Homo-oligomer: A and B are copies of this chain.
Amino acid sequence: MEGDPLSALCSPAFVVDVDKAKRNAQRMIERCQKLGVQLRPHMKTHKTLECADIMTGGSQRCIVVSTLAEACFYADHGYDDILYAYSIPFDKVERCAALSERLDLFQILLDHPDALEQLRKRPLKDGRQWHVWLKLDCGNGRAGVLHSEPGALKLAEAIAKTEGVELTGVYAHCGNTYYCTGVEQIQAVAQETTKLTLQFMEKLRAGGITCKSSIGSTPSCSHPVKDMAQLSEVHPGNYVFYDVQQSMIGSCCMEDVAVRVLTRVIGHCPHRNQLLIDCGWAGISLDGAGKLPTGYAVIEGHPNLKLLSMTQEHGRVEPISGQLDYSKYPLGSLLTLIPYHSCATAVMHPVYHVHSKGRLVGKWTPTRGW
């Protein structure tokens, strides 16, 4: 119920501090304004309407999504200028065509000539164009055509020349910032990605082709380098929530992390020097295994506790050193988990409980599926 304290929630519960989320979003908006680059926030971390409104400053325009389910969800709720930033899967060409014919600006992404062939085979109605970003791999090592491959330039040129298709931009995700520790390392990756992207744009321009450019990741956009001002857009997403991982990378401080999982003590196991909590991997995910001295999460206010192991609905907690004082953790008492990876934790929850200063103010319902 609105106005209730967090302790009124049944656990496990995913809770969002809306003031922190707004502050994180506002800081990113201001950072991008100051830099002079368009912010296209990514929705994949939260997948809710309410958080999208916060990240777009209410404009409901200029977003990026990771699934077609997100694209449809936002399109159904008045959003436009949506970039589906995922090498277009061939089973979804028809659904992408329908969105392209329905929205003012639906944009897709590809990294292979075969994908362009798929678009050629499905011209859009009413003289509309496919709006296509070329995905470039500038060292991330996941999707995208390698920036150094001659095929990259050829593919960009082929997109630009294809009838019914527009080369809208060049898109590089710098997820390799996730291997960084500290601002200096983050900015080195941001600088390298920016440099390689701008060099690619220069080559395109030399061939008479101009289009937008975008790079992104929460670490690089939390600590942008000056040259990013020469890009058209940036596309971070996780920053609205942040998490323990981002604080370890150096993207944020722990006090910026806007999300928690509330859990309760449901068992005392003195023969194992352990507590049981009502949050297993169904409530926090298995992401972060082996990454933290405190196990799968940080237990707020209890630096000596470790979330050692989990099954579907149970978590085993033990002290990092010494014996548990069970009188401090009576059955039913609340513990608060700070997620290692908020994207992975959020996806486990069908509803997010939103609070301001510890008082509930509403619920957000994410979209799911593909």
> Chain A: residues with CB nearer than 8 A to chain B?
9-13, 44, 66-68, 86-87, 89-92, 95, 111-112, 114-115, 141-143, 146, 149, 175, 264, 266-268, 271-272, 276, 278, 281-283, 285-287, 289, 311-314, 316, 330-332, 343-344, 347-351, 368-370
Contact status A146-B271, CB under 8 Å: yes
The complex places the Cα of A10 from the Cα of B349 at a distance, in Å, of 23
| Contact across chains for B264 and A67 when beta carbons are under 8 A apart | no
B142 to A276, Cβ gap below 8 A? yes
Partner pick for A312 among B44, B149, B350, CB 8 A cutoff: B44
Please name the residue on chain B nearest to A68 by beta carbon.
B10
Say how far A330's CB is from chain B's closest CB, in angstroms.
7
Beta-carbon contact of A276 and B10 below 8 Å: no
23 A-B residue pairings within 8 Å (CB atoms): A11-B89, A86-B278, A87-B266, A87-B267, A89-B264, A90-B331, A90-B332, A91-B332, A111-B267, A112-B268, A112-B331, A114-B331, A115-B331, A281-B285, A281-B287, A282-B347, A285-B286, A286-B286, A286-B289, A289-B289, A312-B343, A350-B368, A350-B369
Residues of B near A86 (CB, < 8 A) are 266, 278, 313
User: Could you tell me if B344 and A347 are in contact, using CB atoms closer than 8 angstroms?
Assistant: no
Smallest beta-carbon distance A136→chain B, Å: 13
Bound together, the chains give a CA A347 to CA B370 distance in angstroms of 14
Task: List 7 A-B pairs, minimum CB-CB distance, nearest first.
Answer: A90-B332, A286-B286, A350-B368, A350-B369, A114-B331, A10-B91, A87-B266
What is the CA–CA distance of A272 and B137 in the complex, to the nearest angstrom?
A: 12
Please, which residue of chain B has its CB at the minimum distance from the CB of A282?
B347
| Minimal Cβ-Cβ distance residue in B for A263 | B89
Q: Is the interface of A mostly helix, strand, loop or mixed?
A: loop
- Bound: A283/B368 CA distance, A: 11
Please give me the residue from chain B that is nearest to A313 by CB atom: B66
Q: Is the CB of B347 within 8 A of A90?
A: no
Contact B143 A314 (CB under 8 A): yes
Please, which residue of chain B has its CB at the minimum distance from the CB of A349? Answer: B369
B142 touches A314 (CB 8 A): yes
Q: Compute how far the CA of A364 lies from the CA of B208 in the bound complex, rounded to whole angstroms.
A: 53
A143: nearest chain-B partner, CB-CB: B267
> Are A351 and B332 touching (Cβ within 8 A)?
no
A333 to chain B, nearest CB (A): 9
Closest to A115 in B: B331
With a cutoff of 8 Å between Cβ atoms, the chain B residues found around residue A349 in the complex are: 369
Decide if A312 touches B281 in the complex (CB within 8 Å). Answer: no
How distant is the Cα of A268 from the Cα of B149 in the complex, in angstroms?
13
Collect the chain B residues with CB atoms within 8 Å of residue A313's CB: 44, 66-67, 86
| Interchain CB contact (< 8 A) of A348 among B12, B332, B347 | B347
Asked if residues B370 and A141 are in contact (CB atoms below 8 Å), the reply is: no
B89 close to A332 (CB less than 8 A): yes
A312 and chain B: residue at smallest CB distance: B343
Alpha-carbon distance between A283 and B87 when the two chains are bound, in angstroms: 17
- Chain B residues with CB under 8 Å of A142's CB are 276, 311, 314, 316
Give which listed residue, B11, B87, B266, contacts A276 with CB less than 8 A. B87
CB neighbours of A368 from chain B (8 A): 350
Instruction: Tell me if B87 and A143 are in contact (CB < 8 A).
Output: no
For residue A277, which residue of chain B has the nearest CB?
Answer: B89
Residue ID in chain B nearest A7 by CB atoms: B91
A91 CA / B5 CA spacing, docked (Å): 14
